[in-house]
Amino acid sequence: MVIRTIKLPDVGEGVTEAELAEMLVKPGDLVREDDPIAAVMTDKATVEITSAYSGTVVWTAQEVGQIMAIGSDLVRIEEDAGEAQALQPMQETQPAAQETAPVRETPTERPSLALEAQDVGKAVKTNQPEPHRPQTAIPPRPEGAPVLAAPAVRERARQGGIDLRQVQGTGPAGRVTHEDLDRLFQAAGEGHAAKSGLSRTTPEDVETVKVTGLRRMIARRMSEANASIPHITVIEEVDVTEIEALRTRLNETRGDRPKLTLLPLVAAALVKAKQSCPKIFARYDDVADEVEYSSAVDIGIATMTENGLMVPVLRNAQSADLFGMAAEIARLSDACRANKAKREELSGSTITITSLGPLGAIATTPIINKPEVAILGINRMAIRPSWNGTAFVPRNMMNLSASFDHRIIDGYDAAIFVNRMKVLLETPAMIFMKD
């Protein structure tokens, strides 16, 4: 007899370890080549490991739930003498290929039975010729015994409305296999598909797009900011009726100047708020443990483009009037959408404004644009009833969502800033008053 060791194979690019989700065999079980022997779980999918040999299981790996490194011993199988002899010529030329097992990956969602019929039950094969294998008798599952089946088989049976307790498995110890389900579905035909609600439509095409360029940079920066910054988000309701009325009146008399949106008015409110809340307008170098404060108010304007989110910088907002800020915001946005923004126009902001405009939600929790320590989110406006002391009256309301780096900004300072912005936006004359 020859003892063969099946190791945990490479189950995905960049995967160095996997969790043992289910051990499908035990010592004493008879297995055939391509029978499932274990299921492991990565951060992407459940992967079914199949046997590379036929014989009797003499040893299995550690307990379910433990983490195993790629290449760890998974199962040891004692081959028949005839099986070992048939494989002997190949061992001399391709010994390395015998030490890993084929894998079958089980997606979380299965689009249709047609896709299943194409992919399920297919293990990754080596380039070796098919050896002669003697037939091994597989005992039937005893009446009332627990159903043995791999996670992929259970999921497929559930989707197809199949009660596995009624299926006589042909695998080791009566285990139900994909081939058993194939025979059931084939026998049932279209009538079974209609009864069980199985889809027999052609599976949709799947396009794989590599994340590169700006999209990859955005992904990395967002992941880094979300992982390294302890965010605190404060959401406040603001009555913007008066500032919207002001914006309307200014646009009516703007002449050939650019049309005002809410953004320049919010930027002007930020300039005013900096006088009482200077801590909010900062950049934190968490490597050098240094916080940088600037006298200039450089505001990042989150801008959506075809390639992804870009944040051009409205510099020295404290020195510009409303229409000047409106013109500069429009220029920067156009440059980003045309992919012509300069490098220096995309860095150096001390706080960022983000807005989804009419598509915005009631409230959001924006992620800070590192190394800044705060970001201000503008949410969707809506007419809501507001109590004025004697009656409910319709008012134009909007929520502000402001996130802060809790390493630098305390909750008290965050609340002071949000309240200051609320007062300024609800009483826009205060934005333009000299202190």
Helix axes 262-273, 411-426, angle to 10 degrees: 130
Which letter, b or e, does each residue of 200-210 get, where b requires 16 or more Cβ atoms within 10 Å of its Cβ? Answer: eeeeeeeeeee
CB 109 within 8 A of CB 141: no
CA separation, residue 36 to residues 6, 51, 101, 104, 124 (Å): 12, 6, 10, 9, 12
- Could you write out the DSSP letters of every residue in 129-163? PPPP------PPPPTTPPPPB-HHHHHHHHHTT--
Tokens of 62: 């550690």
Q: What amino acid occupies position 351?
A: I
Residues belonging to the active site: 406, 410
| Closest among 104, 52, 53 to 79, alpha carbons compared | 53
Q: Which residues contact 206 (CB under 8 A, 6 or more apart)?
A: none
Give the CA diameter of the chain.
97
Q: Edge-to-edge, what's the strand order for the sheet holding 17-23?
A: 67-69, 17-23, 36-41, 46-50, 103-106
Cα–Cα separations (whole angstroms), residue 365 to 51, 233, 237, 343, 404: 48, 6, 14, 27, 10
Distance (Å, rounded) from C-alpha 169 to C-alpha 139?
10
Structure tokens at 128: 């070796």
Cα–Cα distance for residue pair 339/347, rounded to 1 Å: 15
- Residues 103 and 120: their CA atoms lie apart, in Å, by 11
Q: Which residue has the tokens 């089946």?
A: 149
C-alpha–C-alpha distance, residues 320 and 258, integer Å? 14
